[in-house]
Chain A
Amino acid sequence: MPYTPELKELIKKVEKTRPARVEKKRKGEEFPPMSLEERKAILKYHPDFKEDGRSEILVGPDKGYRIAKEMVSLIHAKSRLDPEAVDLTRVDYETDILVIGGGGAGASAALLARENGAKALIATKLRLGDANTMMAEGGIQAATKADKDSPYFHYLDAMGGGHFKNDPELVETLVVEAPKVMAWLEKQGAMFSKYDDGRLKAMHGGGTSRKRMHYAGDITGAEIMRTLRDEVKNHPDDIQVLEFSPAVELILNAHGACAGAVLYNLETEEYFLVKAKAVVMATGGSGRLHIQDFMTTNHYGATGDGLIMGYRAGVPLRFLHTVQYHPTGAVFPEQAEGLLITEKVRGAGANVLNIDGEQFVYEREPRDVEASAFIRECLERGKGVPTPTGKFGVWLDSPMIDVLKGEGTVRKEFPGKWILFHRYGIDITKEPMLVYPTLHYQNGGLQINQRTETVVPGLFVAGEASGGIHGENRLMGNSLLDVVVFGRIAGCRAAEYTKSAFKDGALSLDHVRAYHQALDNAGVPVDGRVAPMLLPDYSNPEVRKKQLTTKYHGTLR
């Protein structure tokens, strides 16, 4: 759907202010970035600060913690399984290390487990690689250029982005391991964008003091994911993959250690038991919970399952009170709604503008600050651009990049986005994009230490499912980095654990029984709700009303 005549009229205002803005950019004159005080003040527009968006957790290790209602609703649900119905003596699969989740963290963990002499089984919800990792476009941070950067600066940027709340030990591990991860990925044959002499190209991301975001065209995550997936598939004897088989519950053993999981075959509706010496939880994020009804950039399976399973097993949650909204999600055309417009567009120089074609915020503020500024511009100052579906957005002036950096830059640097908009009759080299914040990243998650260990022996967590690395706000490019850094560590440590600390014992789902009991004791109205969610429900309510027999047993319901 091309821009409507009304929107085309408004685009003229953007064109009118463009030459002067380009001139300023050329001279290095930026819209003044906010001071730390101003940043703090504007955050009141952020959805995280909407008190009625949250509710209190009533059971488990984080009783009293207030986080998004949508998450609490899952935490307050029962298991999909009646523990009494599961025969724990009948094991269907046995392995050294069970990796739950086939994204970047899971694939890295399985590969490193194998390198360290353990057999791994990856159980994943959709296909291997159907994951947020596949969708990352912008890049991966690492301080690889000694003449201008080092882990010292990377550390400071990550802490500043996270409001200095990040777990310093985790951040240290992140930034020190970063160059090694880049070297490992290069060795796996991931095709990063390079200069002719082999120097890795790099850009700024929001909140970076040095250009250290490395990229592979505008499909960095896909390039990393498909490379790791290919590598996993090169080891069929050591790494088994079960697709369309999400885990629904962890299994502990008589020693209180994690010893496997129950999987659900999405197609045959059977439940399977996996017995393992150690488990790596790598289930990723939760954008599909549509917190506060926000649109999301996340993949179909991002429903926070790992949080639920881990929490029931006793692992505390960290930083889940903050959720990252990516400032620039497409709001037009409707078919592309929620899709991410990478921060690199702003990194490459595109200004952000209101309905008058005027700048109102520096385009490289940290994400939460940038998103809050958009929300204020649209909802409070009334300077948002109205869309035909009754929403608001602000302009992201992509054509400016071609003016600044030469005709063809946009097409070359953002081929994926160019095609996407082109399909709908919009030429982003000539017309700006209309954007609004979109639910993007689960800043927090299950608590881990530098070795990815949790309070439950034998249970390791890596990637977006974990919490603490990014504090209250993740910087772009630090997440692809984190999934590989901590995925690799989890694989290593889990392999080590299977050899040194593992003790066999009878399998048990007692923690689930206890959790159910706690829900009852706390008087939580469960109303038949179950979690993990596994997949969001986008079905048509009119159709559902006519599905009269879904509660029948048998194959035809």
Chain B
Amino acid sequence: MSKTASKPKKAVAKAKDAEASLVPIFVMGKRYEVPASLTIQKALEYAGYQLVRGCGCRGGICGACGTVYRFPGSYRIEVGLACQTVVQPEMYIAQLPFFPGNKAVYDIETLPAVGGTIAALYPEVFKCVGCGTCTRSCPMDIDVMGYISKAIQGDLTAVAQSSFDCVMCGLCAARCPAEEVQYNIGILARRLYARHLAPKAKHLAEAVKNVEGKKFDKALQELKKKDLEALKKIYKSLEIEPDMADESWTPTDKSFLGE
């Protein structure tokens, strides 16, 4: 086997300091001792796993590392993101790196932005039994059952807003007795809402018109021709919008604006 070039030494050195307090964990039933300060993700690596599945951003936003665990003496299945959850002694861990959830295929442009669209694409939404398992399973503390019930009512705006923090980890879907794929319902609602229901940014349309009309091309050509000193001078003299200014702020010097 060849070595990979330039191996980072960092994680290794860190693990050393913490060796003093090792705790036992069970990875898919097998016992390992790992430093108590590590997240589940780093603990798996410490135990000797080279992660391929179940590891993406390492920062709690990509949803690749959904994990289920349980403590001895308890029947409760708990869940979390492996990169965000610190190990605890005696936890039994299994990762859930992939969930074969159903996703509808659609054309966002022509899809009607009405409540019935969710039901049309995901008719199983009506099978929700209101058990609340999804809400209890969500590592992002989202009221998942709440947005599914809004989906049943056809309230796209509410679904869009309340599912906004979803990292699409699939933990809710994995445990849902009604086989909902909540996160795909969430993104459908968000896209429909943002595309068709949210108020349009009119200033954006104007800005697009300006650049399409090549309104700044001349000014930019001239800037590009400027020598370094001249450019620096202009840069230094730019009027800066104050931090505390509100939306209505406009610069005193109106040259080179889009209006």
Binding site for B on A (CB under 8 A): 1, 25-26, 28, 30, 36, 69-71, 73-74, 76-78, 80, 126-127, 129-130, 134-135, 142-153, 155-157, 159-160, 164, 168-169, 172, 175-180, 182-183, 186-192, 194-200, 204, 209-211, 217, 219, 222, 226-227, 230-231, 233-236, 244, 266-267, 288-290, 293, 295, 297, 299-301, 334-335, 339-340, 347, 349, 364, 389, 404, 415-416, 419-420, 423, 527-531, 533-541, 543-544, 547, 550-551
Contact = CB atoms under 8 A, between A and B. Distances in A.
Interface string B163-205: 0110110000000000000000001001111111011111111
Interface of B: 1-12, 14-15, 17, 37-39, 42, 45-53, 55-62, 64, 84, 86, 103, 105-109, 140-141, 160, 164-165, 167-168, 187, 190-196, 198-208, 210-212, 215-217, 219-220, 223-224, 228, 231-232, 234-236, 238-245, 247, 249-251, 256-259
B3 A528 contact: yes
Given A156-B234, A176-B211, A179-B207, A211 B241 contact: yes
Which of A150, A204, A531, A536 has most B Cβ within 10 Å? Answer: A150
25 contacts: A26-B244, A147-B203, A150-B256, A151-B211, A155-B220, A159-B231, A182-B207, A191-B191, A194-B199, A198-B199, A200-B201, A219-B164, A222-B61, A222-B167, A231-B108, A236-B105, A349-B244, A415-B165, A420-B60, A530-B3, A535-B50, A537-B7, A537-B8, A538-B45, A539-B50
B47 A419 contact: no
Given A219-B61, A267-B52, A538-B42, A146 B207 contact: yes
B192 to A, nearest CB: 7
B243 A204 contact: yes
A236 to B, nearest CB: 7
Contact of A529 (B4, B42, B256): B4
A183 B3 contact: no
A529 to B, nearest CB: 4
A76 B3 CA distance: 13
Given A191-B160, A244-B53, A535-B50, A299 B62 contact: yes
A152 B216 contact: yes
Contacts, number: 309
A300 B190 contact: no
B16 to A, nearest CB: 10
A216 to B, nearest CB: 8
B220 to A, nearest CB: 5
A190 B190 CA distance: 8
A142 B258 CA distance: 13
B201 A188 contact: no
B216 A539 contact: no
Contact of B59 (A129, A191, A297): A297
Given A236-B105, A293-B9, A551-B1, A537 B50 contact: yes
A288 B9 CA distance: 11
A277 to B, nearest CB: 26
Nearest to B50: A539
A420 B84 contact: yes
Contacts of B239: 209
Contacts of B38: 335
A159 to B, nearest CB: 7
Q: Which 7 A-B pairs have the closest CB atoms?
A: A146-B258, A189-B191, A198-B199, A130-B56, A543-B48, A189-B195, A179-B207
A150 B215 CA distance: 10
Nearest to B160: A191
Contact of A74 (B1, B6, B61, B140): B6
A217 B219 CA distance: 34
B238 A209 contact: yes
Contacts of A135: 57, 59, 61-62
B236 A36 contact: yes
A1 B257 contact: no
Nearest to A415: B165
Contacts of A188: 108, 191, 195
Contacts of A164: 228, 231-232, 235
A179 B215 CA distance: 13
Contacts of A415: 165
B202 A172 contact: no
Contact of A199 (B64, B194, B247): B247
Contact of B10 (A266, A293, A335, A349): A293
Contacts of A293: 8-10
Contact of B208 (A183, A290, A364): A183
Nearest to A75: B5
A199 B203 contact: yes
Contacts of B223: 152, 155-156, 168
A112 B203 CA distance: 25
B238 to A, nearest CB: 4
Given A209-B241, A231-B108, A168 B201 contact: no
B207 A144 contact: yes
B199 A233 contact: no
Contacts of A301: 56
B199 A196 contact: yes
Given A189-B190, A191-B164, A550-B1, A134 B57 contact: yes
A179 B199 contact: no
A534 B4 contact: yes
A53 B44 CA distance: 31
B193 A389 contact: no
Contacts of B140: 419
B54 to A, nearest CB: 10
A197 B187 contact: no
Contact of A126 (B64, B108, B196): B64
A150 B258 contact: yes
A183 B61 contact: no
Given A145-B203, A200-B204, A539 B232 contact: no
A335 B42 CA distance: 9
A187 B59 contact: no
A531 B204 contact: no
Nearest to A551: B1
B190 A191 contact: yes
Contacts of B250: 147-148
A460 to B, nearest CB: 23
Contact of B2 (A157, A528, A538): A528
B203 A144 contact: yes
A293 B257 CA distance: 44
Contacts of A155: 220, 223
Contact of A204 (B192, B196, B234, B241): B241
A83 B12 CA distance: 34
A73 B5 contact: yes
A514 B39 CA distance: 44
B210 A150 contact: yes
B5 A531 contact: yes
A289 B7 CA distance: 8
A299 B207 contact: no
Which of B59, B212, B224, B235 has most A Cβ within 10 Å? Answer: B59
A244 B9 CA distance: 25
Given A189-B193, A419-B140, 20 more contacts: A127-B56, A134-B56, A144-B201, A147-B259, A153-B238, A159-B235, A176-B220, A179-B208, A187-B195, A188-B195, A194-B201, A200-B201, A219-B164, A234-B105, A349-B244, A389-B17, A420-B60, A529-B6, A536-B8, A538-B45
